[in-house]
Chains A and B, each alone.
Chain A
Amino acid sequence: MKSPLSLSSVMSFIYLACLALFIAAPMLVIVVFSFDANRFPTLPWGGFSIEWHKAALNDPMIIAALRNSAIVGFGTATLATILGFCAAYLDYRYHFFGKRAMMIAVAIPPAVPVAILGMAMLAFLSRTPIFGSPTAIIVSHTVIASSFAMALIRLRLTELGPDLEQAAWNLGASRAQAIRLIVLPFCRPSIMAAFFLSAAVSFDEFMVAWFVGGVHETLPVRILNMLQGQVNPKINAIGTVVLAISLTLVLIAQRLARTGKETR
């Protein structure tokens, strides 16, 4: 190995730092300028102010959107985690005709452009009674998020190995008992991680929610609609709140996924 402080490694660390700056820059800009007293976010900074945060939190449309996002996020996380566990366990335990097609159908939705998925869901759900309700958004988001939930839980099941569950059956446990007493406790960190990650996916998604939500705006859809209007300093303020929530959700998911690895 080369010495750690060769020119090439210094250069590669500088490059890595630049990439990190590029990735972090837009988020930093949102947070920093949400506390700016100026109306239009630019330099020089107009002084510290929480005026826009107050204004944003007093906006009834933003509060309604926040409530919708919370409902949709919770519903999506619950459903996607259940479906994700079913898919992961099926793939781990059984072999049956059509399993591959089924797993592809669960895995592929995030690869479909959201404009197309949104249009398809709108065309389809507008013929059902749930159209234009938060349920329509939950249903659509669940299709996207269960792919991530399945991946997280499937990864954890790989670490379980097949013997433990078989030992439980040999000792007289039923299939359901083995799942309840062996598989679920073992997967708990990843199941919880899947829950938080699904919530984050739902909280971040605006295109499908915009299409199928009708008058029920989620927070990202509210932001999208605000962006299409005049420059609005409330966007930075509400953006800071949105960033804080989604970063927290992903961080919790990561922490949980990692505890899973350590307890092995």
Chain B
Amino acid sequence: MTIPLTPTSARQPQQRGRLQSMTGKTIKAAIGPLVLGLPLALWQICFFVLPLGFLGVVTFWQVRNYRLQPAFVLDNWERMLGSNAFQRAFVHTFSVAAIATVLALVLAWPAAQTIALRLSPRARDRWIAFLILPIFSSYILKVYAWQVILSPQGIINSLLTAAGVSSLNLLGGALSLQIGYMTLTLPAVTLILTFALLGLDRDIIDAARNLGCKGPTLITSVLIPAIRPGIIFAGSTAFLLAFGDYGSPVFLTGSNPPTLSILIVDTIKSGSQWPRASVIGVTMLALPAVGFLIVTMVKWLLKRTRA
């Protein structure tokens, strides 16, 4: 340490004070995170982490005389994973959610591109505001409204009969289910793609256009590669929403065939089979994790083979 030129008597207490305040500071610096973080951490642990963890524990429990009892049995897993109903529901839910994901991305893309790249900032803000509204407003009502629109004596069919066309059987099939899923996913997917495109450097697009790249080529070789993370985020949002949805499959296909969410509700509400319902829940939660793991492994393998 350099010797200060100021009188030592005046300097020393100040330095000791600084030292003291240093330790005081570290304690003080820890107070903030503790005061703000502890309640938050406790809340998330108590009401999110523990309930989900408990769900995992329950999968090993037993139901005896209609009562849930602690145990450690693999019976629930064996029974559920081996059951035909579960396997069919899993494949069905996965495939309709995958179709919804592709459909949502394809349908949202042109809209996102128009909003992000063609509209004036003012109009763009209005569209973004418009798209945020349906995300937070009464999904269950909208599903009911589609039921009203598509039902045998509903709005579309009464229009068709008035036009002299025989009525169509619109409700209760793959089409009505996807209409429900699109109601659920399209606003969010369009928004995410719009924001991804807005984050793009406009010079890249202008440069591509100047080099004669336009239309579909601009989309496939410039825009899509440039916003790939945004597309992946939008796609996984759509998949998760559709995969876990309850409203559309119940009210637009009449639970036929049932999805995993319907299976969960039925397993609990009709038989109080908590452990088996928990197996379904844990499997549903594990799916995105497994998907993530596979993607990471494939990436790692590709990197190794390239190296």
Partner-B contacts on A (CB < 8 A): 8-9, 12-13, 15-16, 19-20, 22-23, 25-27, 29-30, 33, 40-44, 83, 86-87, 89-90, 93-94, 96, 102, 105-106, 109, 111-117, 119-125, 139-140, 142-143, 175, 197, 200-201, 204, 206-207, 220, 223-224, 227, 235, 239, 242-243, 246-247, 249-251, 254
CB atoms of A121 and B51 under 8 A apart = yes
Q: List 10 A-B contacts (CB under 8 A).
A: A23-B130, A41-B155, A109-B48, A119-B55, A120-B55, A124-B51, A197-B136, A227-B140, A246-B137, A247-B133
CB atoms of B137 and A27 under 8 A apart = yes
CB atoms of B278 and A123 under 8 A apart = yes
Within 14-52 of B, Cβ neighbours of A (below 8 Å) are at 28, 31-33, 36-37, 39-41, 43-45, 47-52
| Nearest B residue to A24, CB-CB | B134
Nearest Cβ distance between residue A257 and chain B, in whole angstroms?
10
Nearest Cβ distance between residue A166 and chain B, in whole angstroms?
13
**Complex: A43 Cα to B54 Cα, angstroms:** 50
Residue total for B at the interface (Cβ-Cβ under 8 A): 78
| B28: chain A residues within 8 A (beta carbon) | 175
**How many contacting A-B pairs (Cβ < 8 A)?**
205
CB atoms of B261 and A115 under 8 A apart = yes
CB atoms of A220 and B138 under 8 A apart = yes
Partner-A contacts on B (CB < 8 A): 28, 31-33, 36-37, 39-41, 43-45, 47-52, 54-55, 58, 107-108, 110-111, 113-115, 118, 127, 129-134, 136-146, 148-149, 153-155, 158-159, 162, 182-183, 186-187, 190, 215, 240, 243-246, 251, 260-261, 264-265, 268, 274, 277-278, 281, 284-285
| Nearest A residue to B145, CB-CB | A26
Q: A120-B51, A120-B54 are in contact. Are A115 and B244 (CB under 8 A)?
A: yes
| B159: chain A residues within 8 A (beta carbon) | 43
Of the residues A42, A94, A120, A204, contact of B139 by C-beta under 8 Å: A204
